[in-house]
Amino acid sequence: MSSSMTITGDNFQSEILQSPIPALIDFWAPWCGPCKMIAPLIDQLAEEYDGRIKFGKVNVDEETALAEQHGIVSIPTLVLYKNGALAGQKTGAAPKHDIEALFKELI
């Protein structure tokens, strides 16, 4: 059973950019209602796609530099990386199938 890992400025390079599989990052904050709405969906997808895609979470309040580096101005924002390069992005709460569509063709 997989779950989303915490991504920080310290592990971004090794966990996301150097990941051998696509990685989806959820930029969120604990006070964000829409972030809380999609959190269970992200957890479900992490279990369903365990080993095929990596899921990470970045708390924008704790990792402001990482959020700024990605140009995050609204949360939740999902950012997808493949082979160390930006492969997609989606801002706002979305149903599970929309989140899945962001990465499904890459795996």
Q: Annotated active-site positions, please?
A: 32, 35
Distance CA(35)–CA(21), nearest Å, equals 24
Residue type at position 27:
F
Neighbouring residues of 101: CB distance < 8 A, sequence distance ≥ 6: none
In degrees rounded to 5, what are phi and psi of residue 80? -110, 130
